[in-house]
Amino acid sequence: MDLGKRIITIIILFGAINLVLWGGQELYHGKDTKQIKEIESWLNSESIKIKNVESQLGDLELQSSSLEDSLNNYKRKIDLGEEYLIDTYNSKVYEYNNLLNQYNSQLSEYKESIDSYNLKVSEVNELIKKSGTRWYIIPIPIPSGGSLKGKL
């Protein structure tokens, strides 16, 4: 058998061995790979949800800041003797408290979402570490005969 055919035979042999090795590993880690894809899909949708809640929190912060400024203006005017504004001030305080309750509720939801997201990230990282490695056999030519001598 000439050298070309031997090299092609070796390439085909190692290709077949690697294909069987790779296929076996894919089958062995198939359940984990499916779970990783499911978790990554959940993480993507949860990330969108978290961004929406962040946006809502930002809007509520702006509203509460504006309402707080308004309350301070009413308070100053009332302190200067404009008592007829007391009812308006009280209704604004009520509105501010409702906004604050809404903000706290959104913040609680946000924190829960972040905690869930972080747990899933840890879970998917462990799965990737466990099943993400694949082994292959790579042919390394070994010189035949004699001792190995380094060249200087």
Checking if the pLDDT of 32 tops 70, the result is yes
The answer to the question of residue 4 being in a domain is no
> Is residue 89 domain-resident?
yes
Give the domain range for residue 99: 31-131
User: pLDDT higher for 133 or 6?
Assistant: 6
Window from 12-21, 79-88, 105-114 with minimum mean pLDDT: 12-21
24 vs 46 pLDDT, higher one? 46
Please tell me the total count of domains within the chain.
Answer: 1
Say what the pLDDT of residue 148 is. Answer: 44
As a whole number, mean pLDDT of residues 8-28 equals: 84
The predicted model scores a pTM of 0.66
Average pLDDT, the chain: 86
Does residue 138 form part of some domain? Answer: no
* pLDDT tens per residue, range 99-123: 999 999 999 999 999 999 999 999 9
Percent residues over pLDDT 90 in the chain: 53
What's the pLDDT tens digit per position in 44-77?
Answer: 999 999 999 999 999 999 999 999 999 999 999 9
Q: In this model, does residue 135 exceed pLDDT 70?
A: no
Rounded to 10°, the helix 3-28/30-79 angle is: 50
